[in-house]
Amino acid sequence: MILTLTPNPSIDRTIALAGELARGQVQRVASVTAQGGGKGVNISRASVAAGIPTVAVLPAGKDDPFVIELLTAGIDCKPVLPAGGLRTNLTITEPDGTTTKLNSPGATVGRQHLDAMTSTLLARAATSDWTVLAGSLADGTPDDFYADLVRRLHDCPSKVAVDTSDRPLAALVDALPASAPDLMKPNGEELASFSGADADTLESDPAATAAAARTLIDRGVGAVLATLGAGGAVLVTADGAWHATPPPTTVVSTVGAGDSSLFGYILGDIRGLTPPERLALAVAYGSAAAALPGTTIPGPDDVRPALVAVRQLDLIARELT
């Protein structure tokens, strides 16, 4: 079972333009879609599609349309005390796949809201294979909220994955090794934010990405899945480093691609795949998501891991041992 926590969920509204975005102009819209979202929610959607049991913990009213939608989609949803209404995130996609996101902050939370999330999560982590802490934190949440949760989850048998950015990511890294999760999934920019490396270099150089990710392994993190957009992804563990490139993909929307990659890796772990095979499945899920419109999350029929090219970074692997 995959347990997900989405502390700051959103209603994701996607506007697909018929042409290139032109600032200050009136433009024709090809389509508009909306659905309940957030990183953890996206992973739970992928889990349901793959036939893996999942529980999604998030702040919302029990009768909120957001919760009803998730339940209707087959997601076992555990809503906890919300601080206010759900935020709305707007995504604008262009025909060439260029994606522009406008994310609102969400309601300001208090201690009672954080305690409700924490207790609900910990109560269910005892029976989960993986617990995923994902996304931004609402205003009022301490930066070290995820770091503290990881420390508390060390007492549970569940493996822990974290996918976040900005101050919560910095706080998690600062708290290593006490807060070390089993898996971290930064992108190139996020990895650069604390490793001192150049973000553009990481996006284009898998060897540099592996070296930067290794700094997290040295501080107790079990595995680092660094997603690099069109450049695929790099996986680093204590045993080695690998780079995977996706098959040719017509990008429609990049929203949810990173979440799908994270799910693909976790699914591979649950299936007992080797690290390179998990990486291939992760990249296959990510590229499949990029080929789908809006925030559509791929299912198993959309994924082609056999078309993903994986190579061991031999030089980096030797340097890391």
ω into 168 cis (within 30 of 0): no
CA atoms within 13 A on the CB side of 277: 8
What gap in Å lies between CA 309 and CA 282, rounded to an integer? 12
Q: At 183, phi and psi to the nearest 5?
A: -150, 135
SS3 297: coil
Annotated catalytic residue, options 259, 269, 301, 314: 259
H or E, element range at 265: helix 257-270
Whether 115 is catalytic is: no
Count Cβ atoms within 10 A of the Cβ of residue 143 and give its class: 0-12 exposed, 13-18 middle, 19 or more buried.
middle
Distance, CA of 176 to CA of 116 (rounded, Å) = 25
Q: Measured between alpha carbons, how far apart are the two ends of the chain, in Å?
A: 33
Cα dihedral 315, 318, 320, 321, rounded to 10, equals: 170
- Please list the active-site residues: 259
